[in-house]
Amino acid sequence: MAVEGAVSNRSAIIDYGRDLEKEIATLEGSISKIEALTARYPARWLAVKLLENDSDVKEKVRAIDGGVEIIRQAETSMAHLRSIFGDEAETVIADRRYGFISGVAKKVLRKPAIDRLTSSDKIDNIVTNRVLGIPIFLISMWLVFQFVACSGPYSDWLDGVLAGPICRWGITIIKLISLDGTWVESLWVDGIIAGFAGVMVFVPLLFFLYFALAILEDCGYMARIAFVMDRLMKAIGLHGKSFLPMIIGFGCTVPAIYATRTMREWKDRIVTAQVASLMSCGARLPVYTLFAAVFFADNPGTFILALYLFGIFWAIVIAKLFRSTVFAGGEKAPFVMELPPYRMPTLKGVLIHVWERGAFFFQKAVTIIMAVSIILFFLLNIPWGVSDMRDSLFGKVSATIAPVLAPMGCGNWEAAGSLLTGFIAKEVVVGTMGEIYVAGAQEEAEVEEPTNFFQDLGEILVGFWDATVDTVKSIVSIIPGVNLMDGEEEEEVTRLVAALRERYTPLQAVAFSVFVLLYIPCMVAVAAFRSEFGTKWALFNAVYLTALGWIVSTLIYQVGLLLGF
Amino acid sequence: MADKIREEIPIQLSMVAPGQDVQFVAVHGGWGIRRRLAEMGLNPGVKMKVIQADFQGGPIIVAVRDSRLALGRRMAHKIMVNTI
């Protein structure tokens, strides 16, 4: 294709033809009499939009004084046009627009006359192929998760920076205002920094996930995934476009809930969002990993995989159930989607995508987590000077809840407390267990060597460089047969492992892990749900998931006991 | 662009074999669907071609103007076309 000549960037007025123009002009005349409308919208644009029956615009016009009359007038015009064209005005308008576009295109574009498959079509023949489509999709998803797993070094680096230099700077400031040794210092170190670090370690993971998804999206493959998966999703009562949010759910439920926005039909959207948290998110993995290490050391991978599959199983069951009960009926949204031509993603475009999504999560998570960490800190320390966590307000609340969890084998205050904090973020469950079971679990602060600001800064930068090198190495190692990674050294959780092995049976561990999988999503996810679907449905989501978790875990535990486990 | 629609008995788009050139006649459906399709360039008279219909009962890919649309099978049942 070649572009000939320049087009002036004067905004073009499309001639919609005599009959339409007459109606537009009349409507435009009435609109320009209402100042409240002309102050906000160009009159002609508004007239066209109303004739197009744009529900959004109608809503806005209706809210303005005299708007109802305008809409009535527009409806009369539409009826009149319908009788002339035998078709809706909007169809005619769209037709005229495309006519205008092709007119312009004919003037400035020269295309090869032969009508044949483009290279994009050729890629589609492979990628959306009946046989190859799903395997290609699975391989690309596997690559995405491999890539996301490479974010580890950055998480460690962030954790180090927060627990090291940033924590020290705060202490320095606290010392300056001579509050050191008081509760303020403790709040900073054990409350704010600890809580903040807990979330920040997930930020690199999310950014990596968003990066990978942005590449898939920008190159055009994402739309094909919906195409390939449409039939499968339809079988469980969902929509081809439901698939993407569910995949994102493996990373984090929050963006998964927002990703349902691509669906037009509200019922499809909400059902997808309702089951999104059943896709085990990244934050649940630490919990699974811990229990796998404690009780299924021979085969930790199988245990973890089984939990993931169990979540998917329930997502299918619940989606089918909801689609035929609570969210039954509704117009089944037709599957219509434009497949953009494949193109090379630009770094800028990808980074914009990553930033838009990532910054949003970051902001939301930071504010909420910060607030809850502070509250939790006080709950753990009230009455003031309490030395045993069990006697703190938090311990007492947990002990009150504990009996409810008894049928699923977790009727002690420690488990109840861990699950409570899991509402903040699921991975916190591990941290709380560590704090409760391993007295003074927090490693005694590394021997405090006095450092100055510039040494700290240097440490941060060197750490970042090392993390980058490690990440690049592990990304390259995804290529089969290449391994640049040194033998991964196992983390030392032995004290917690020993403590858990003493106190829980494998059956209890299974029931507990399943409960963590199913019960109320973390508060950020609940907040996201609320902002997308309203308070009522967010509560519904939290309640049904918790009930489901309780029932399933109890069944597992009780049946397990009967079978003699 | 909108060539005159030929007088012929239209068939469902879902019956059309890949590679066949067709002309869009109408869609059986509500206001929402008609509008959606019109926005994507599916106006009466426009030429289209089925590019891929691999998945039995699954969605198909059609070429319309310069773009490619994925249409669910149910959608394709509702779109009436003439072969050309």
pLDDT at residue A457, rounded to an integer: 84
Nearest to A255 by CA among A129, A171, A356, A331: A356
Asked if the Cβ–Cβ distance from B69 to A336 is below 8 Å, we say yes
- Tens-place pLDDT, residues A70-106: 889 998 988 888 888 877 788 888 888 888 887 888 7
Average pLDDT over every residue of B6-10:
71
Residue A487 has pLDDT above 90, yes or no: no
Average pLDDT for chain B: 83
Helix (H) or strand (E) holding A469: helix A453-476
Q: Is A102 on the interface with B (CB under 8 A)?
A: yes
Query: Which residues contact residue A503 at a Cβ distance below 8 angstroms, ignoring those fewer than 6 apart?
Result: A412, A414, A437
Written as six digits, the tokens of A330 are 């509704």
Average pLDDT over every residue of A151-177:
84
Q: Are B79 and B71 in contact (CB under 8 A)?
A: yes
Q: Is A230 on the interface with B (CB under 8 A)?
A: yes
What residues of B are in contact with residue A48 (Cβ under 8 Å)?
Answer: none
Q: Which residues pair with B81 in a beta bridge?
A: B11, B24
pLDDT at residue A444, rounded to an integer: 44
Asked if the Cβ–Cβ distance from B2 to A226 is below 8 Å, we say no
Q: State how far residue A251 is from chain B, nearest Cα, in angstroms.
A: 27
Asked if the Cβ–Cβ distance from A231 to B43 is below 8 Å, we say no
Average pLDDT over every residue of A158-185:
83
Written as six digits, the tokens of A192 are 């704010």
pLDDT at residue A441, rounded to an integer: 42
SS3 A336: strand
Q: Where are the domains of chain A?
A: 2-110, 119-565
Single-letter residue type at A213: L
pLDDT at residue A443, rounded to an integer: 45
Residue A468 has pLDDT above 60, yes or no: yes
Q: Which residue has the higher pLDDT, A7 or A90?
A: A90
- The CA–CA distances, whole Å, from A111 to A3, A100, B84 equal 9, 18, 22
What's A109's DSSP letter? E
What residues of A are in contact with residue B61 (Cβ under 8 Å)?
Answer: 124, 128, 227, 339
Interchain CB contacts (distance < 8 Å): A and B:
108
Written as six digits, the tokens of B13 are 């788009």
Q: Which of A16-30, A199-213, A454-468, A531-545 has the highest mean pLDDT?
A: A531-545
Written as six digits, the tokens of B7 are 């007088």
pLDDT at residue A150, rounded to an integer: 80
pLDDT at residue A362, rounded to an integer: 74
- Among the ranges given (A142-146, A442-446, B38-42), the one the predictor scored with the smallest mean pLDDT: A442-446
b/e per residue, A391-405, with b = 16+ CB within 10 A? Answer: ebebbeebbeebeeb
Residue A155 has pLDDT above 60, yes or no: yes
- Tens-place pLDDT, residues A15-38: 888 888 888 999 888 888 888 888
Candidates B37, B55, B63; nearest CB to A336: B37
Question: CA A211 to CA A220: how far, in whole Å?
Answer: 14
pLDDT-derived band at A557, boundaries 50, 70, 90: very high
pLDDT at residue A482, rounded to an integer: 60
Q: Are A245 and A272 in contact (CB under 8 A)?
A: yes
Asked if the Cβ–Cβ distance from B69 to A338 is below 8 Å, we say yes
- Tens-place pLDDT, residues B33-53: 887 888 888 888 888 999 888
pLDDT at residue A321, rounded to an integer: 92
Q: Is B69 on the interface with A (CB under 8 A)?
A: yes
pLDDT-derived band at B72, boundaries 50, 70, 90: confident
Question: CA A256 to CA A242: how far, in whole Å?
Answer: 10
Asked if the Cβ–Cβ distance from A336 to B31 is below 8 Å, we say no
Average pLDDT for chain A: 82
Name the closest residue on chain B to residue A226, using Cα atoms. B70
Q: State how far residue A508 is from chain B, nearest Cα, in angstroms.
A: 44
pLDDT at residue A488, rounded to an integer: 45
Name the closest residue on chain A to residue B44, using Cα atoms. A95
pLDDT at residue A2, rounded to an integer: 46
Average pLDDT over every residue of A288-295:
84
pLDDT at residue B81, rounded to an integer: 92
pLDDT at residue A561, rounded to an integer: 92
In the block, residue with structure tokens 């592990």: A474
B11-83: CATH class: mainly beta
What residues of B are in contact with residue A94 (Cβ under 8 Å)?
Answer: 35, 38-39, 41, 43
Asked if the Cβ–Cβ distance from A94 to B38 is below 8 Å, we say yes
- For helices A221-235 and A203-218, the axis angle rounded to 10 degrees is 100
Helix (H) or strand (E) holding A339: strand A336-339
Average pLDDT over every residue of B47-64:
85
Q: Are A208 and A146 in contact (CB under 8 A)?
A: no
A2-110 adopts what CATH topology?
A: Helix Hairpins (1.10.287)
Name the closest residue on chain A to residue B42, using Cα atoms. A95
Percentage of chain A lying above the pLDDT 90 cut:
15
Asked if the Cβ–Cβ distance from A331 to B30 is below 8 Å, we say yes
Residue A272 has pLDDT above 90, yes or no: yes
Is the C-alpha dihedral spanning B7, B13, B14, B19 positive or negative?
Answer: positive
Q: Are A85 and A19 in contact (CB under 8 A)?
A: yes
- The CA–CA distances, whole Å, from A428 to A29, A152, A197, A286, B52 equal 62, 18, 11, 9, 48
pLDDT at residue B27, rounded to an integer: 87
Written as six digits, the tokens of A24 are 């537009």
Residue A494 has pLDDT above 70, yes or no: no
Q: Are B48 and B83 in contact (CB under 8 A)?
A: no
Written as six digits, the tokens of A503 are 């106190």
pLDDT-derived band at A127, boundaries 50, 70, 90: confident
pLDDT at residue A278, rounded to an integer: 94
- Among the ranges given (A234-243, A381-390, A460-469, A537-546), the one the predictor scored with the smallest mean pLDDT: A381-390
Average pLDDT over every residue of A45-53:
88
pLDDT at residue A442, rounded to an integer: 46
- Among the ranges given (A54-63, A105-114, A375-384, B66-75), the one the predictor scored with the smallest mean pLDDT: A105-114
Residue B60 has pLDDT above 80, yes or no: yes
Q: State how far residue A26 is from chain B, nearest Cα, in angstroms.
A: 24
Query: Which residues contact residue A441 at a Cβ distance below 8 angstroms, ignoring those fewer than 6 apart?
Result: A434, A435, A495, A496
DSSP per residue, B16-65: PPTT-EEEEEEE-S-HHHHHHHHHTT--TT-EEEEEE--STTS-EEEEET
